[in-house]
Structure 1
Amino acid sequence: MEIPQDAQKVEVPGATVDFYKFQKDGVTYYAFDTSRCGPPEPMVNAMAGLKLVKDPNTKLIMINHKMPMGLLNKIEQNYDIEKEELPDGRVQLLFSYKPGVTEEANLSDSSCSG
C-alpha cells in the first residue's frame, strides 16, 4: 500500500522516525519507514507504533530494509501481519488488530533479541 502524498505527519511518543497518518475505506493507517535505520530503531519504532493499534479500524504499516525477525518473534501472536516484498528489495508489513490477544502484547520491551 502506498502512503498517500496527503498523509499527515503525527507525533508518536518514543518514535525516532517520522510517522504518518491517513484514512482509507474507514480505516486509519499509521505508517513509518525504518529501512535506513539500524538496530534497535526498527524495533523501537514498531513498538511505539503498535501502541496505536487498539481496534479493528486502525492498522500500522512498517517499511524496513529486511524482515524484522526479532520483532516478529516477539509480537506475531498478538497481531495479524501481512508481509510484502517491495520491488526495491525492502519489505512492508501491515499490522492489524487481533481481537482478544492484541491487548496482551508486551509493547514496553523494545529490546531486540533477533
Structure 2
Amino acid sequence: MSELNKQAIEVPGATVPFFTYTMGETQYFEFDTSKCGPPEPMVNAMAGLKMIDGPNKKVVMINHKKPMGLLDKIGENYDIETEKMDDGRVKLIFSYKSGESENANLNDAACHG
C-alpha cells in the first residue's frame, strides 16, 4: 500500500490537527485524540462529523479507547466501523447514513461519560 497523501486542514472548533486524504472516490478526514482527555475526543469528533455531507466522505478518529459517550450520542446517525490497532488504540471510521446523519445533533459536544 502506498503512503497516503495526507494534507493538513483547518476544521472549525477542532483542538487537534485534522488531515484529509482520498482513497478511491472517498474523501477521509482523520484526527487523533488518543493523547487527549475529555471532552476533547467528543469536541473533535463533533467538529469532524460536520464535514460528512454525503456517502463519499468519512471521518477517521483514533482514540485511546472506544468513546462510549460519543457513540451513545450519535451512534444511530452514522455507520461506524471500529478497529483495534496494534498499539492498543482504537480507530473508528464514521460513514454517512442516509436519512440519519442529517439528524445528528453535532452542536452538543458536552461529554457525559
The TM-score by the shorter chain falls in which range?
Answer: over 0.9
Matches within 5 A, 1:47-86: 47-86=46-85
TM-aligned CA deviation for residue 21 of structure 1: 0.4
Q: Percent identity?
A: 60
5+ long unaligned stretches in structure 1: none
Match of 1:40 in 2: 39
Q: Distance in 2 between matches of 1:6 and 1:93?
A: 20
- Counterpart amino acid of residue 13 in structure 1: P
Once the two structures are superposed, what CA deviation does each residue of 1:44-75 show, in whole Å capped at 9, x if it has no partner? 00000000011000000000000000000000
TM-aligned CA deviation for residue 6 of structure 1: 2.3
Match of 1:11 in 2: 10
Runs of 4+ in 1 over 3 A off after TM superposition: none
| SS of equivalent residue, structure 1 residue 76 | helix
TM-aligned CA deviation for residue 106 of structure 1: 0.2
- Counterpart amino acid of residue 78 in structure 1: N
Match of 1:30 in 2: 29
Q: Distance in 2 between matches of 1:6 and 1:56?
A: 21
- Counterpart amino acid of residue 91 in structure 2: Q
Give the TM-score of the pair, scaled to structure 1. Answer: 0.96
Aligned length, in residue pairs: 112
Q: Distance in 1 between matches of 2:20 and 2:45?
A: 15
Q: Distance in 2 between matches of 1:61 and 1:15?
A: 14
Matches within 5 A, 1:89-108: 89-108=88-107
Moved more, 5-14 or 95-104: 5-14
Give the TM-score of the pair, scaled to structure 2. Answer: 0.96
Q: Distance in 1 between matches of 2:57 and 2:9?
A: 15
Q: RMSD in angstroms over aligned alpha carbons? A: 1.1
| SS of equivalent residue, structure 1 residue 52 | coil
